[in-house]
Each structure stands twice: as C-alpha cells, then as structure tokens.
C-alpha cells in the first residue's frame, strides 16, 4: 500500500553502489589491501585547510542564530553575496545574491530544477551520453520525458547533428556536465558556443526558451590552463547546478546552489518556480552552518589542491594506455572512461572482479562499451592494481 | 515556460513569513524595540552546551571522511544506532538503526513520506485542524488529496465523529502533530488510544493499512510530567517525522528523521518507498556533520532547557487570560492559540499591527477564529507588549 514507483526506485541499487558494497564484502573476506576499489566518486583529498578553519570560525564567532538559525529559503543574503562576488572575481561575471538559490548540493538543485521546468507530461529533457544516471530519474519522476543523445565516443564532445534532430517543441531543457562524470572530458569553448547557437536558433523557431542546465560539481577539478567562459556568458537561459562536494571535499554535508544567468528570460518566473519546487520537496533552507562555511571560503576564493588527483590521473592514465587500454585523456573530474577491451563494459566489469578490481560499467551512463575508473583513491593502490589491469587486458581480449 | 504550479507556490508568501517581513520593515521604520514580533517559530534558546561541544568534537576528532564524507542514503549506521538507543532508553521502545531514515529535518521527512505513500490521485491524507499549512502543500504536490477535519475548538483534542466520517477506502494517512503547532496542546493518552482503535477498525474494514504520520518536532518541548506512550507502541503502522530544530535549537541546520514502527505492516515496502522518495527529491544523505552531532547528543540523551520557554508561557498565558483573552492552556511547543476577540483571526491580526504587535491569523492553520502567538521571544518583550494586548482586547471587542 505504498507507491510502487517509489518502492522500486528505493530498492534498486545503482551499479556504483552495488560495486562499492561488493567491495566491502570482498574486503571483509580477503583483506582490504587485496581489493582495488575504483568504483566511487568520494573525494580522497581532505577539505582544504581554509574550509576546516571556516567551520571553527563559524562555531566560535557566530551567534547561535547566525550559525544555526533558519535563513530565508534561498539562503542567507550575505552568503549569496559572497558566493556571487567570488564567481565575479574568478569568471568576470555580474552575479549578485538574487542570482543564487542555495541548495543541499547539486542533486537537490537538479531535482528542484527539473520539477520547476516541467510544465506537463510532454515536457522533455535531453542529456548527452555519457551522463549521470540520476538525471533520468529526476526528470521522469518530475513527470517529464527524458532522452539521451548518443555519445561522440571519439572525443566525447557533442554530436550536433544528433542534437538538432532531438530538439523539439517540447524540449524544456538540455543538460550538460563538464568536466564530465564519467568521461573526465571538458567541453571546449567551441563546443559550448556551437551548442548555444543551436539552442538560440531553436528557441526562436519554437517560440520559447530552452533552458541549458549546466551540472558543474567538477568545475574546479581541471588539469588544464585553458580558460573557458562561464556558461551564462555564452547562453542567457542557463541554470548552473553546483555542489561544493568535490571542490571543498564536503560530499556528505550537502551544500551547493542553483544559479540563474542575469539575462535569463522571465527571470522572476524561473526563480519563483525554483523556490516553489524547493518548498514542495521539503527544502526549508540549505544547512545554515554550511552556508556560513561557504560564505567564508568564498571570501577567500578557496580552491582545491589538485596535486594528488593529478598524480593519480597521470599514473592511471599512463599505466592503462601503456598496457593497451584506450581512453580519451581526461582534463577534469577524477574519472577515467576506458573502452572495455572486448567491447562490453558489463562483461569487463564482471571479469575485473576476478582480479578484485572494482570498476563501474558504462551502461548506466549510456555508454555500454566503456567502464568508469575513479582515481580519487590512494596513489599506491593505483600502482598495486597495475599488474591486475594488465592481466585483465589480455584476458578480455582473448575472450 | 515554467511550471505555473511551482511558480505560484514559490511566489506565494505564507502568513507567517508575511508577518515576519512586515515586522522587519516596521522595525527599520520605528525601531526594533517598538515592534513586538510574535510571528515566528524560531527557537529563542541557544543550542544546549552539549550540542556545541559535539560540533567541536566532530571537527577535531573525526577523520575528514567521517565528518564530511557521504554516508549511506538512510544515514550513518552508527548515528542511527545511537538515535535508536536513546529513544529506547527514554521511551522503552525497541528500535534499531533499521527503523530510521535520517533526513534534512521534519519538512523533508514529511514531503518524502507523503510522496512515498501516494499510490495514485485518489490517495488521501487527513489532518486535524489546526494544522501546519505545509501538510496540504506536500500532500497535493505529491499528487494526493488532502482534507482537514475541523477542530474541536473546546480542548483541541480530536473530534472522533468527524474523523469516522472522513475516513474512507482511499485514506492513506492521518497526520497528527502533538505537541501541536499552533495550539500548543498535547494529545492525551486517551485521545491517542481512541485514535488507534478507530484506525485499526477502519484498516480491517478497508482491508489495507492506514498510516499514522506523527509529526513530532515539538516532542521534547512539554511543560507537564504526564508520560504518554510513544506512538509506535499504540499503533503499528505509525511513521514518526522528527526534527532536531526545536529540541537542539538547530532549525537552520536541517537534521531529523523518519522512523518506522518495528511492527509496521509491509515494513520493507514502506522503508523502500521512503528511500525512493528521498532519492527522487535529491536527498543524497542528511548532512554528514550534523549526523555526527546528533549521534553524540543521542549518546548523552541531550534534552533542551525549557526554563525560558516555561517562564515565557506563564507570563504570556497569565497576562492574556488575565486581560480577558481565552485560550486552551498549552502544555507544549512554544505557541499560544488565542481566540480572536471579535471572532475573526484575520481582523484581529490586522488590528494588532496598529499596536505593532505581530501575530499570525489562525486561518492558514484551518481555524480562522484564532491567532497564533509565538513565545519563543525575549521575555521582556512579552512584558512590554502587555499594555498593547490590553488595548487591543478592548478595541477588538468594541468593533
């Protein structure tokens, strides 16, 4: 006597979680040092020292009401001003508090935005494979349609012909995720400019905005100096969903935001719908103490120390490609998206378990011929796993 | 081009927020000391010292991953065990980690539970007036029907005849909130036992469970020694929605839980539907650092210091009833629900503004003849407001 849809979603295990839980059982059986778990996206770097200092400062200098009291639903105005000012300094944007709606991380921002933009059962959202599987879950349970545009598996940029064919009069939103989970690829400025051009043209043809939902939890995890314009500078109807989970290594604490471009058409309607969607989903305000922490980190433009991830990326990418594996060199995030030797991600992920190597099949990301290898892990584990990866490569190709 | 329903909900101001914002404007115009704001339910007591100590302990002794890493979606098993053990000590219950699903406060728990229990558009939830207005918002946006059972305005217990008539084959849940916002009344053991009996009889008649959703953010705010059994001891299909907002004075930090009774019929289905509903609403896990804080507070059975609220209640209740106002003596929470002199809560709340006294009309709680007066305020403000309340009483009766 409950919602069967909710029960099924609640009882279904994601491929990522299934791999992680298998790893825990295996570690209990054979010892943790024998299991090579590359399944999770849990930052292995500790929070930056400024973040820990900010926590202690909030607890020791704020009044109880400032540190732990209700804020207005979109988040404390001072916090939003500080976040906006930091973005403006870093990206030459023009944001203020009113552009921001603070949320319990990017997942909350996304689920809120999908619901806010769903007009009726015909409303459709498009994502480019490979994509984070929760997009589909959020879109469909908001009552909308969802479609994935097949991957350009050569460079993991956008296949614009397929995009053009997929866009229709009911398209409400297009989701981009750069740096990408699971490919680690960053969309080039040219990719984003072409995307914006096509969307603008289609907006005019269909007579209504198509929102560009930019999911950016990995924005600060880039291993290249290439400067790419902030998405709202390229497209007016852009909504950024952001999380501090990866940049400040606070994934469990749930703090992030939805951000609307200043030149967003019908700005007040979109912001109002986001406020309504947050309210009906029980989001009273983002955790107050975390708001105060990011306020302080924003004042200092705190960024993550990427040296550990970079070292891991180089060791893993170099080690695997040296063996014969193929992947697009990842410029961001902390994932390597590897062509499964033998061509089947499910089969390779299953085979890898015989070496106690845990990776996630690309199937749930919309790319069944790949596996995702997370490198937010201890560096020495990458080195110790290499012989196993080499054996796997030969075995998978021999099958 | 957004959801009009979401936009309207997002732009609609609640009566409580409207009064609060009016008060801020008035304070800017005439000085904060001239405005008597009894509109909000923001705890005026600081967090208990053990709670602040717990925060500092988490930050100084936990590993970054323990303090800030992802937990499993229902919340850290150790935290849930500690919460269950504390409840078992205090209420002689039999809970363990598996009964609990940690949430971002009671609002999150409620919105998750309504969605989990909504089977189709006929599913109905019932609440007893006066009730927290968000119940209706959560139920309707989950896709269900909502109906309010008129108040027993004599004692604010339950009018069982009206309940019997309202229960039908599509009733999925009945919501109780004791201690009550806005009346401050606590349901007696007899009320709860009779309620449980009727629901059990109706479950048998209709051939399916009717869930009793017990919204208990004020559970620890009671000014009486009367011991009332925990709701799951009286009724098997009870789901408790709890928040630490009021008991630990952490309203902005958003931490609470949904709790299922051990003898809940179809326990795994209900728990699974709650997990699914939380997932689609973007709740990855309750804020990790707050989970660790309540784990420590639970180990110590930390309870709020009620002396300030009790003193406020006595001063406000005594002052108002001495003037001629009528209200049921509140045994819990921090609200007084007062019969509006003249009979119209809207009119009285508007009139009160001429004395710069801000109260909330009972209309949005389903009792239009009343006003809610919050006493989580500085004690001296109650004393200074009394002459204004006296003048209002005479003016309202003279109209």
- Which among A47, A64, A274 has CB closest to B68? A47
Residues B361 and B291 in one domain: no
What percent of chain B has pLDDT above 70? 100
Residues A32 and A124 in one domain: no
Residue B200 has pLDDT above 80, yes or no: yes
- The A residues from 78 to 117 touching B (CB cutoff 8 Å) are 103-105, 107-112, 115-117
Q: Inspect the interface and report whether the beta carbons of A254 and B284 lie closer than 8 Å.
A: yes
User: CA nearest A207 in B: which residue?
Assistant: B1
Q: Inspect the interface and report whether the beta carbons of A70 and B251 lie closer than 8 Å.
A: yes
Residues A285 and A353 in one domain: no
Mean pLDDT of the B274-290 span? 97
Residues A215 and A337 in one domain: no
Burial degree of A353 (CB within 10 A; 0-12, 13-18, 19+) = middle
Q: In b/e form, how buried is each residue of B295-327, taking b as 16+ CB within 10 angstroms? A: bbbbeeebebebebbeebbebbbebbeebebeb
Task: Give A112's contacts in chain B (Cβ within 8 Å).
Answer: 282
Q: Inspect the interface and report whether the beta carbons of B104 and A277 lie closer than 8 Å.
A: no
- Rounded to the nearest 5°, which phi and psi values hold at A180? -95, 140
> Which of A108, A100, A139 lies closest to A122 in space, CA to CA?
A139
User: CA nearest A269 in B: which residue?
Assistant: B7
Show the tokens assigned to A143. 């009552």
**pLDDT tens, position by position, B18-36:** 888 898 899 999 999 999 9
Classify the phi-psi angles of A126: left when phi > 0, otherwise alpha if psi is within -120 to 50, otherwise beta: beta
Residue A399 has a pLDDT of 76
- What is the pLDDT confidence band of residue B15, given thresholds at 50, 70 and 90? confident
Q: Please give, rounded to a whole number of angstroms, the shortest distance from the CA of B180 to a CA of chain A.
A: 19
Number of domains in chain A: 2
**pLDDT tens, position by position, A209-239:** 999 999 999 999 999 999 999 999 999 999 9
Residues A38 and A56 in one domain: no
**pLDDT tens, position by position, A79-130:** 999 999 999 999 999 999 999 999 999 999 999 999 999 999 999 999 999 9
- What is the pLDDT confidence band of residue A30, given thresholds at 50, 70 and 90? very high
Residue A206 has pLDDT above 90, yes or no: yes
Report the CATH number at residue A375: 3.90.1150.10
Residue A19 has a pLDDT of 87
Distance CA A296, CA B355 (A): 40
DSSP letter for each residue of B228-282:
---HHHH-TTEEEEEESTTTTT-GGG--EEEEE-TT-TTHHHHHHHHHHHHHHTT
Residue B40 has a pLDDT of 87
Residue B17 has a pLDDT of 81
Task: Give B5's contacts in chain A (Cβ within 8 Å).
Answer: 276
Q: Report yes or no on whether pTM surpasses 0.95.
A: yes
Residues B74 and B36 in one domain: no
**pLDDT tens, position by position, A280-304:** 999 999 999 999 999 999 999 999 9
> Which of A337, A209, A57, A213 lies closest to B2 in space, CA to CA?
A209
- The A residues from 149 to 188 touching B (CB cutoff 8 Å) are 172
**pLDDT tens, position by position, B159-170:** 999 999 999 999
Q: Do B70 and A251 touch, CB atoms closer than 8 A?
A: yes
Residue A369: which domain range? 4-48+305-398
Residues B131 and B273 in one domain: yes
Q: Is B56 on the interface with A (CB under 8 A)?
A: yes
Distance CA B41, CA B132 (A): 12
Distance CA B95, CA A357 (A): 37
Residues B129 and B225 in one domain: yes
Residues B43 and B54 in one domain: no
Say how many C-beta atoms besides its own lie within 10 A of residue A30's C-beta: 11
Distance CA A117, CA A172 (A): 7
Distance CA A280, CA B9 (A): 8
- The B residues from 223 to 242 touching A (CB cutoff 8 Å) are none
**pLDDT tens, position by position, B247-266:** 999 999 999 999 999 999 99
Residues B130 and B264 in one domain: yes
User: Which of B276, B299, B322 is the endpoint of a domain?
Assistant: B299
Report the CATH number at residue A124: 3.40.640.10
Residues B225 and B174 in one domain: yes
**pLDDT tens, position by position, A234-250:** 999 999 999 999 999 99
Residue A15 has pLDDT above 80, yes or no: yes
Q: Do B325 and B373 touch, CB atoms closer than 8 A?
A: no
Residue B18 has a pLDDT of 86
Task: Give B134's contacts in chain A (Cβ within 8 Å).
Answer: 279
Q: Do B318 and B386 touch, CB atoms closer than 8 A?
A: no
User: Which of A284, A299, A314 is the endpoint of a domain?
Assistant: A299
Q: Do A183 and A335 touch, CB atoms closer than 8 A?
A: yes
Residue B155 has a pLDDT of 93
- What is the pLDDT confidence band of residue A41, given thresholds at 50, 70 and 90? confident
What percent of chain A has pLDDT above 90? 93
Q: Inspect the interface and report whether the beta carbons of A111 and B281 lie closer than 8 Å.
A: yes
User: Which of A299, A320, A337 is the endpoint of a domain?
Assistant: A299
| Residue A34 DSSP class | G
Residues B309 and B383 in one domain: yes
């Amino acid at each position: 006597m409950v919602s069967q849809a909710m029960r099924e979603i609640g009882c279904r295990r994601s491929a990522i979680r299934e791999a992680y839980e298998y790893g825990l059982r295996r570690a209990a059986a054979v010892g943790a040092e024998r299991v090579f778990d590359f399944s999770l996206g849990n930052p292995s770097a500790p929070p930056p020292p400024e973040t820990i200092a900010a926590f202690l400062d909030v607890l020791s200098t704020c009044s109880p009401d400032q540190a732990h009291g209700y804020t207005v639903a979109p988040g404390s105005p001072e916090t939003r001003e500080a976040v906006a000012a930091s973005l403006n300094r870093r990206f030459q944007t023009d944001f203020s508090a009113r552009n921001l709606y603070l949320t319990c991380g990017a997942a909350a921002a996304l689920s809120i935005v999908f619901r806010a933009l769903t007009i009726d059962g015909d409303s459709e959202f498009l994502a480019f494979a490979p994509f984070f599987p929760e997009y589909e879950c959020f879109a469909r349970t908001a009552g909308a349609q969802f479609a994935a545009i097949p991957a350009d598996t050569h460079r993991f940029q956008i296949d614009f012909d397929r995009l053009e064919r997929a866009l229709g009069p009911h398209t409400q939103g297009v989701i981009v995720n750069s740096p990408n989970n699971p490919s680690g690829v960053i969309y080039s400025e040219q990719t984003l400019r072409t995307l914006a051009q096509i969307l603008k043209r289609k907006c005019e043809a269909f007579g209504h905005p198509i929102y560009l939902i930019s999911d950016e939890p990995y924005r600060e995890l880039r291993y290249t100096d290439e400067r790419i314009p902030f998405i709202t500078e390229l497209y007016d109807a852009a909504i950024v969903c952001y999380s501090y989970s990866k940049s400040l290594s606070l994934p469990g604490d749930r703090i992030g935001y939805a951000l609307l471009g200043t030149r967003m058409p019908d700005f007040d309607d979109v912001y109002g719908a986001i406020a309504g969607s947050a309210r009906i989903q029980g989001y009273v305000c983002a955790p107050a103490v975390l708001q105060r922490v990011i306020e302080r980190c924003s004042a200092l433009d705190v960024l993550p120390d990427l040296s550990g991830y970079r070292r891991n990326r180089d060791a893993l990418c170099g080690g695997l490609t040296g063996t014969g594996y193929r992947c697009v060199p990842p410029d961001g995030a902390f994932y390597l998206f590897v062509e499964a030797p033998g061509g089947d991600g499910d089969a390779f992920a299953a085979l890898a378990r015989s070496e106690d190597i845990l990776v996630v099949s690309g199937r749930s990301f919309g790319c069944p011929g790949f596996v995702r290898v997370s490198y937010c892990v201890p560096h020495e584990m990458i080195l110790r796993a290499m012989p196993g990866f080499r054996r796997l490569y030969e075995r998978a190709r021999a099958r």
